[in-house]
Structures are given as C-alpha cells and as structure tokens.
C-alpha cells in the first residue's frame, strides 16, 4: 500500500546516497556548506516520512511522546552540526534561511499536531498536564523562532510596491503561507495553554520538563513559561487582520481564530 510519505523517504535516501558519494570522493571542490545542506534536506525528508506515520496512526498514546521527542531532537541536529563545524558561523549563513526556517517550522508543527491530539485524551491530560504545557511552550517557541528569521519590510517613501496587498503582507513578516500558518498554530497553542492549563503562578518548567536537556535527542528552546494570553492575542489578531485584509477571499478562514480571540480577551 502506498504511503503519502514514501516519496519523501525516497528523496531522503537519495540525498544521503549523494552525500555519501561526495564524502567518499573527498573532493576539495565540494564546499562543506553543500554537504551540510544535503544532510539537512535528508533529515527533513526522512523525518517527514516518520511524522506522516504518526499522524496516520493518530499519535499512539503509549509511544508517540517519545517519538515526538526523538524527531524534534533529530530536526535540531543540522544546526548542532553547523555549530560544531563552524563555531563562529551563523547556521543561516551555512544552510540558508529556507532550510533553517523549515527545521523550526517542522518542530513547531509537529508539537502542534501532537498537542492537538493529546488535548482530546482527558485522562492522559489530567495525569500529564505539566508535560502538555511543556510541549505547548516548546512548540510555540519553535514557531516564533521560525517567524523571527526574516525582517518585516519597513514601508516608507523609499519603498514603492505596486501591489499594496503584497506590501502589507511583507510588512507583517508574512512571506509565505507557512508563515501565516505558524501564526495561527502558535495562537491556537496559546489558547489551549490558557484554557487547559490555566494561568497564574507557574513553576519553572525546569522542574517538570519531561525531556531534560541532558538527554540526547531532547532539546528545549527555552525553559521559562510563556504568557499564553498576551502572545495568543498578538498572533491571532495579526492572523485575522491579514486574512480579512490582503488575503480576503483567498480561502483563509478566521472563524475559529475569532472565537479563540474572544476567549483570550474575556476570560
């Protein structure tokens, strides 16, 4: 039976074979950045295959958390490798902004999908609320990091764009559909965090971290808890504004975002 992720597994395997061939040649003409980019692409493709299996299986309750930890760790390895090879070099300069954005998008979106499923398991949620909150914090931070790599276009008299809608999107830091989805996902995760985990005094997540940073393959972008209410309002407000503005009539639905905004503003 054909699996939707099979194509990516084939692509990832091909990238690894090409990488192995270049390494065996030992050609001085091959820049290290090319090897690191090939490795990153292979990681993205192969992990997508594994993520697709998790989604198809509806994130099995007994095993999916460990698998999610493993995959987010693997998706962090390209940046770690760049830092090991080029201590003073920004990973973006080696891998390119598209690949680095994709790594953070994939980590954030994976945690979004996991939390989307886990929040419906009431018994699991009651017993693992600290783990759930940790996944939400990490997922939002990955998505916010992804949104931070490109600088929004600052519109002034020196910047002239014939398409005002495009100019508005670029000024909001939205360079693709993925950037807009990242805003929606992060806002929705903040809504889940406030509704299901509550606010008030939150102990440091260092004490409740289900995946301590000392464990291999488990990385957290930050340990301090987020302000789910304010960040959620910011992301969802921007999402609704853009969808009802320059993207009006292009299929972007704001109904659920507006309902979540109402909750964040009044509760």
126 and 148, same structural domain? yes
Instruction: Give yes or no for residue 40 having a pLDDT over 60.
Output: yes
Instruction: Give yes or no for residue 27 having a pLDDT over 90.
Output: no
Instruction: Give yes or no for residue 180 having a pLDDT over 70.
Output: yes
The overall pTM is greater than 0.95? no
Q: Tell me the H-state helices in 149-176.
A: 164-171
252 and 186, same structural domain? yes
Domain holding 167, by residue range, is: 97-267
CA distance 247 to 254: 11
pLDDT, mean over the chain = 82
125 and 254, same structural domain? yes
Residue 52 or residue 170, greater confidence: 52
Taking only the tens place, the pLDDT of each residue in 64-79 is 999 999 999 999 999 9
Q: Tell me the H-state helices in 57-176.
A: 64-85, 91-95, 97-118, 122-127, 129-148, 164-171
Of 95, 115, 148, which one is at a domain's C-terminal end? Answer: 95
Taking only the tens place, the pLDDT of each residue in 144-162 is 999 999 877 766 655 555 5
172 and 84, same structural domain? no
Instruction: Give yes or no for residue 131 having a pLDDT over 80.
Output: yes
Taking only the tens place, the pLDDT of each residue in 196-227 is 998 643 443 433 333 333 333 344 555 567 89
Of 46, 78, 95, which one is at a domain's C-terminal end? Answer: 95
């Amino acid at each position: 039976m054909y699996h939707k992720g099979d194509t990516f597994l084939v692509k990832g395997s091909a990238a690894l074979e090409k990488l192995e061939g270049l390494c065996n040649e030992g050609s001085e003409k091959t820049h290290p950045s090319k090897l690191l980019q090939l490795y990153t692409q292979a990681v993205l493709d192969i992990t997508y295959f594994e993520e697709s299996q998790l989604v198809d299986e509806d994130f099995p309750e007994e095993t999916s958390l460990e698998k999610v930890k493993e995959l987010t760790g693997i998706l962090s390895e390209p940046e770690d490798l760049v830092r090991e090879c080029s201590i003073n070099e920004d990973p973006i300069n080696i891998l390119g902004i598209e690949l680095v954005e994709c790594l953070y998008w994939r980590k954030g979106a994976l945690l979004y999908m996991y939390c989307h499923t886990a929040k419906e398991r009431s018994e699991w949620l009651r017993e693992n609320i600290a783990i759930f909150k940790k996944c939400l914090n990490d997922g939002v931070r990955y998505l916010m990091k992804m949104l931070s790599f490109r600088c929004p276009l600052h519109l002034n008299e020196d910047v002239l764009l014939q398409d005002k809608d495009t100019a508005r999107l670029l000024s909001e830091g939205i360079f693709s559909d993925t950037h807009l989805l990242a805003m929606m996902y992060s806002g929705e995760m903040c809504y889940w965090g406030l509704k299901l985990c509550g606010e008030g005094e939150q102990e440091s997540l260092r004490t409740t971290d289900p995946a301590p940073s000392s464990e291999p393959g488990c990385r957290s972008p930050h340990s301090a808890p987020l302000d789910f209410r304010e960040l959620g309002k910011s992301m969802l407000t921007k999402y609704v504004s853009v969808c009802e503005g320059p993207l009006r009539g292009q299929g972007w639905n704001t109904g659920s975002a507006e309902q979540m905004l109402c909750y964040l503003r009044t509760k």
